[in-house]
Amino acid sequence: MKAFISELKICWDNELQRIQANEEHILKICDAALGITHRAMKELRTQLIETEFKEKEDEIWFFKVAKPDFISKLIYYDKLYHLEIRRPIGREKLVREFLENEMAHLEHSYENYTSFYIYYRTGQTSLDEEYFTRRHKTNDNTYEILGFDSDPNLSTGYDLKIANILAQDKLLGYLNIEIDKLNGMSNHNSSHIYSTNYNLEWTGSKTGLVELIYALAQAGVFNHGKTEYKEIAYYFEKVFNISLGNIYKTFEKIRMRECGPTTFLDTCKTKLIDYTDKFNQLRIN
């Protein structure tokens, strides 16, 4: 099952990358993302029906990690689609108020979460068998039912709770970036759209920075691997006072390079090895 999930995630990610590289309109991106996610969920459902978990730990992993990850994408793009449809067009102040109200609403909803929210957020595992195996059914019928979960044999109930938490985190991240962009536009300087107090400036190639961003994202070093490429890129733009443009288009070019996708990383590796070799020689001498 883990090999299947890994391949499915890679396929989903590749399709989304192509969409984002070729489409700028957020509503069209959401619509296309929902389409590929629905297809992935159908494959996941078929695989789950055909799978008998031999170990309790495998079933827990599926309902605690694997399935919520996919469903959170479905919830996120659905909510983002409806948020952007309602987003006002016009004065900057009106748009900012709308985004800030949406953020306040999301942040307030965290206060209504039960002890399960605390359990999940603090990384506890003592009740995993109760929450994430189908031998223990939740009596809580308040959670939203998606088509995938209409069959009780395909859900524990708590997997969807995690999916909602993950989707909400992603939506808050999106709103943060959008509000930050508006604030940056209001306080822009003459040279860059982003105004920062950092002294570091990226003087390498933009392609190299995008390569690094994707490598770090794949390594899962930010927020336990749950951060979107766009969020990481935006942070780097602010810190290094640079505009990277459409990182998805840049990555498409990186992916198709004849010399391979790790030109910048290979150079960094070579430089570091040369430095440590010289340092070690000095210590020996």
pLDDT band with cut points at 50, 70 and 90 for residue 152 = low
Residue located via tokens 């010289």:
278
pLDDT at 249 exceeding the cut of 80: yes
- Helix, strand, coil percentages for the chain (3-state, nearest 5): 70, 0, 30
pLDDT in tens, 200-245: 789 999 999 999 999 999 999 998 888 889 889 999 998 888 899 9
- CA 67 and chain centroid, separation: 15
Span 78-123, pLDDT tens digits: 999 999 999 998 888 899 999 999 999 888 876 666 788 889 989 9
Degrees, nearest 5: CA angle 36-69-128: 150
Listed in sequence order, the residues at least 6 apart from 18 whose beta carbon sits closer than 8 Å to its beta carbon are 252
Residues sharing a CB contact under 8 Å with residue 171, sequence separation 6 or more, in sequence order = 76, 79, 80, 83, 106
Please give the model's pTM, rounded to 2 decimal places: 0.78
- Dihedral sign (CA 13, 15, 21, 23): negative
